[in-house]
Amino acid sequence: MMTADISVSARATTMSSDDIKSDMNGERQAPMQVIVDLCVVPLGVGVSVSEYVAACQRVIEASGLGYRMHAYGTNIEGPWDAVMAVVKACHERVHAMGAPRITTTLKLGTRTDREQSMDDKVASVETRLRASDPGASEA
Amino acid sequence: MMTADISVSARATTMSSDDIKSDMNGERQAPMQVIVDLCVVPLGVGVSVSEYVAACQRVIEASGLGYRMHAYGTNIEGPWDAVMAVVKACHERVHAMGAPRITTTLKLGTRTDREQSMDDKVASVETRLRASDPGASEA
Amino acid sequence: MMTADISVSARATTMSSDDIKSDMNGERQAPMQVIVDLCVVPLGVGVSVSEYVAACQRVIEASGLGYRMHAYGTNIEGPWDAVMAVVKACHERVHAMGAPRITTTLKLGTRTDREQSMDDKVASVETRLRASDPGASEA
Amino acid sequence: MMTADISVSARATTMSSDDIKSDMNGERQAPMQVIVDLCVVPLGVGVSVSEYVAACQRVIEASGLGYRMHAYGTNIEGPWDAVMAVVKACHERVHAMGAPRITTTLKLGTRTDREQSMDDKVASVETRLRASDPGASEA
């Protein structure tokens, strides 16, 4: 278990630095950032899957990336290659635990117009909700 | 806006009561419960979609169903028909706001072996994480 | 099995006719059309799920809606309520077959700017591919 | 356009060979195969997205991987890293075409119990449908 954790975060680090490219003027460009929503479902292991979901949470935690679990998946944010290394490591871990088959659903959001974190996305909607709430008392 | 909110919750109520069926012995069965993860994406309205996401949050709130927003969607739980009425109402609302096209991603979880809420799902994973945390100090 | 098939298509018919609304000028409006991509995954039934997928195909076929299966789901098109009745009927059927838990992934596309079928969507991309193919010999 | 195509297939090749590992007995292990369903949605580019979908089809075609487009996405199969390089290349291409924001839905299926292609999956369901079809005349 430890081995896999270490290898994930090592790979993640390597990939982030690999991912820094130079544009046509020779300037370094930041790697493409992504926010994903990851839901890993093991098949052939019975009806309870929380043991496998918990194992994925440890893989994600070990990567050092920002993440937040919800009731139907986990949001993860960071450089594309680092996040994708975590998704692959989750599949490898869950297979290593004995699951013969996995089906995963992944949403991936990227944008080039501006930086936006998971917290920014939620705050942006919450600000709109407060601003337009007919029961709110703002001046 | 109010009209649509009222119609959603009215429909939801009608559908939940419709949904109570009798089994072969004449006993009333509870309607099928579902936990969904809903992500509504309007197209053709520019790059910022938070106004539309906020409108969906108000539709969901007005339904009276349990829900929790995250950075890449919203978990909603309740009777199948009531939850699906909310999904449809979100599409209707977002089109009514002027979005000519919508693409939505929806995960839907149902189970017949036992009841399980959104909170139960998260708690189940967190319990496992605490139990197996090598750094935890429980005896 | 037959009973369920019949009840699905009956419900679908009822819902489509229910779904025809009148707009503010008293004119009848067509119901909202949707194209979905449905992937139903039973849990707790072992590693092979083709028996359950086949059962869902029969539910879809019995509905009379347009559909096309691919290697990771099935596209279905039609009025929103008819399509959603089929999705619900798939969950009910798969539970009735003994699966204690189901996780489904559903993409839903609606548009108000024009009608567009599954075939139109594929043709639209294929036309572009032919038009811009550097190796194509079109006149 | 050509540059990107070339770079994708180069990367895919590198990664597939990288991905061949040795197990504890020093035997070479095949890389983890995956079947995905990819649906890339550009935001902020208006209501028609077929130009961007067509560009992704060219990226996928250039990779040499097996794929099949349907009305709500494209199935792709191959070694995990090669397939994921294509997904990343689609995001890069669509951003390079001017889309400021992308939201993608990806399903990923892996299994260790046996090899299974996209064609196998469809055939497996079709065999079951024929076998149990009440109208079929096979003995």
Task: Indicate if the pLDDT at residue A3 is higher than 50.
Answer: no
What pLDDT is attached to residue C26?
Answer: 53
Q: What CATH code is carried by the domain that includes residue C17?
A: 3.30.70.930
**Residues 6+ positions from A51 with CB-CB distance below 8 Å:** A97, B128
What pLDDT is attached to residue C50?
Answer: 95
What pLDDT is attached to residue B1?
Answer: 29
What pLDDT is attached to residue A72?
Answer: 98
Selected residues 97-126 of chain A with any CB under 8 Å from a CB in chain C: 100-101, 103, 105
Tally of domains within chain A: 1
D124/C50 Cβ within 8 A: yes
In-domain check, residue D117: yes
In-domain check, residue B111: yes
C-alpha closest to that of A106 among C6, B37, D124:
B37
Burial class (CB in 10 A: 0-12, 13-18, 19+), B131: exposed
Selected residues 18-57 of chain D with any CB under 8 Å from a CB in chain C: 35-37, 39, 47, 50-51, 53-54, 57
Residue B16 CA to residue C79 CA, distance in Å, equals 21
C89-103: pLDDT as tens digits: 999 999 999 999 999
C11-39: pLDDT as tens digits: 433 334 344 444 455 556 789 999 999 99
Mean pLDDT for A127-137 is 72
Q: Which of A47, A101, A103 is facing C44, going by the closest CB pair?
A: A47
What pLDDT is attached to residue C57?
Answer: 98
pLDDT band at residue C63, thresholds of 50, 70 and 90?
very high
Distance from CA of B12 to the nearest CA of A (A): 22
**Residues 6+ positions from C107 with CB-CB distance below 8 Å:** B103, B104, B105, B106, C36, C37, D39, D72, D73, D105
What pLDDT is attached to residue A131?
Answer: 86
As a whole number, the mean pLDDT across chain C is 83
In-domain check, residue C139: no
Polymer length of chain C: 139
A103/C41 Cβ within 8 A: yes
D46-58: pLDDT as tens digits: 999 999 999 999 9
Which residues does chain D have within 8 Å of residue C114's beta carbon, measured at their own beta carbons? Answer: none
In-domain check, residue D138: no
Q: Determine the residue of chain B that is closest to D98 in CA distance.
A: B47
Percent of chain C with pLDDT over 70: 74
What pLDDT is attached to residue B44?
Answer: 96
A113/B72 Cβ within 8 A: no
Instruction: Decide: helix, strand or coil at residue A103.
Output: strand
- For residues D3 and A64, the model is more confident at A64
Mean pLDDT for C80-85 is 98
Q: Which of A54, A107, A132 is facing B72, going by the closest CB pair?
A: A107
Lowest mean pLDDT among B56-70, D29-43, D95-109, D120-134: D120-134
Distance from CA of B55 to the nearest CA of D (A): 18
A91/D108 Cβ within 8 A: yes
Q: Determine the residue of chain C that is closest to B110 in CA distance.
A: C102
Mean pLDDT for D74-82 is 98
A17-57: pLDDT as tens digits: 344 444 455 556 789 999 999 999 999 999 999 999 999 99
pLDDT band at residue D27, thresholds of 50, 70 and 90?
low
pLDDT band at residue C84, thresholds of 50, 70 and 90?
very high
C91/B32 Cβ within 8 A: yes
pLDDT band at residue B131, thresholds of 50, 70 and 90?
confident
Instruction: Give the residues across from C44 on adjacent strands.
Output: none
What pLDDT is attached to residue B132?
Answer: 73
Distance set, CA D133 to CA A72, C8, C75, D126, D129 (Å): 36, 18, 21, 10, 6
On the CB side of A11, CA atoms within 13 Å amount to 20
**Structural domain harbouring C108:** 2-132
Which residues does chain B have within 8 Å of residue A47's beta carbon, measured at their own beta carbons? Answer: 111, 113
Distance from CA of D8 to the nearest CA of B (A): 27
Task: Indicate if the pLDDT at residue B17 is higher than 50.
Answer: no
Residue C49 CA to residue C29 CA, distance in Å, equals 40
Instruction: Give the residues across from A78 on adjacent strands.
Output: A34
pLDDT band at residue A121, thresholds of 50, 70 and 90?
very high
Mean pLDDT for C96-122 is 97
Q: Which of D35, D107, D125 is facing C69, going by the closest CB pair?
A: D125
Q: Which other chains touch chain D, taking contact as 3+ CB pairs less than 8 Å apart?
A: A, B, C
Residue D132 CA to residue C13 CA, distance in Å, equals 26
- For residues B67 and D134, the model is more confident at B67
Residue C49 CA to residue C15 CA, distance in Å, equals 30
Which residues does chain C have within 8 Å of residue B110's beta carbon, measured at their own beta carbons? Answer: 91, 95, 101-102
Q: Which of D73, D77, D121 is facing C37, going by the closest CB pair?
A: D73
Q: Which other chains touch chain C, taking contact as 3+ CB pairs less than 8 Å apart?
A: A, B, D
| Chains C & D: contacts with CB separation below 8 Å | 94
In-domain check, residue D98: yes
What pLDDT is attached to residue C125?
Answer: 95
B44/D46 Cβ within 8 A: yes
Polymer length of chain B: 139
Distance from CA of C41 to the nearest CA of D (A): 11
In-domain check, residue A137: no
Residue B124 CA to residue B119 CA, distance in Å, equals 8
Distance from CA of C41 to the nearest CA of A (A): 8
B93-102: pLDDT as tens digits: 999 999 999 9
Q: Which of B101, B107, B111 is facing C101, going by the closest CB pair?
A: B111
B70/A68 Cβ within 8 A: yes
B36-82: pLDDT as tens digits: 999 999 999 999 999 999 999 999 999 999 999 999 999 999 999 99
Q: Are B99 and B44 in contact (CB under 8 A)?
A: yes
Mean pLDDT for D2-29 is 43
D97-113: pLDDT as tens digits: 999 999 999 999 999 99
Which residues does chain D have within 8 Å of residue B103's beta carbon, measured at their own beta carbons? Answer: 39, 41
Which DSSP string corresponds to chain D?
A: -HHHHHHHHHHHHHHHHHT-EE-TTS-EEPPPEEEEEEEEEEESS-S--HHHHHHHHHHHHHHT-EEEEETTEEEEEEEHHHHHHHHHHHHHHHHHTT-SEEEEEEEEEEESSS---HHHHHHHHHHHHHHH-TT----
B44/D101 Cβ within 8 A: no
Which residues does chain C have within 8 Å of residue B91's beta carbon, measured at their own beta carbons? Answer: 32, 80, 108, 110
In-domain check, residue C138: no
Residue A34 CA to residue B38 CA, distance in Å, equals 19
What pLDDT is attached to residue A76?
Answer: 98
Residue D120 CA to residue C103 CA, distance in Å, equals 22
In-domain check, residue B49: yes
Mean pLDDT for C109-113 is 96
